[in-house]
Amino acid sequence: MKAQDIMVKNVICVEMDERLPNIRKIMETHGFHHLPVTEKGKLVGIISDRDLLRLISPFINKVSEQPRDLDTLNRAAHQAMTRQPITVKADTSIEDIIAWFKRVDISCLPVVDDEHNVIGIISWRDLINHATFKS
Burial pattern 4-41, b for ≥16 Cβ within 10 A else e, equals bebbeeebebbeeebebeebbeebeeeebebbbbbeee
Whether residue 30 has pLDDT greater than 70: yes
Give the mean model confidence (pLDDT) for residues 63-70: 69
Instruction: Find the CATH number of the domain harbouring 116.
Output: 3.10.580.10
- Range(s) of the domain holding residue 119: 3-134
Three-state DSSP class for residue 42? strand
Burial class (CB in 10 A: 0-12, 13-18, 19+), 108: buried
**By C-alpha distance, which of 69, 86, 77 is closest to 25?**
77
Higher pLDDT, 33 or 68: 33
Beta-carbon count within 10 A of 109 CB: 27
Give the mean model confidence (pLDDT) for residues 119-125: 93
How many structural domains is the chain composed of? 1
Say what the pLDDT of residue 58 is: 65
Whether residue 43 has pLDDT greater than 90: yes
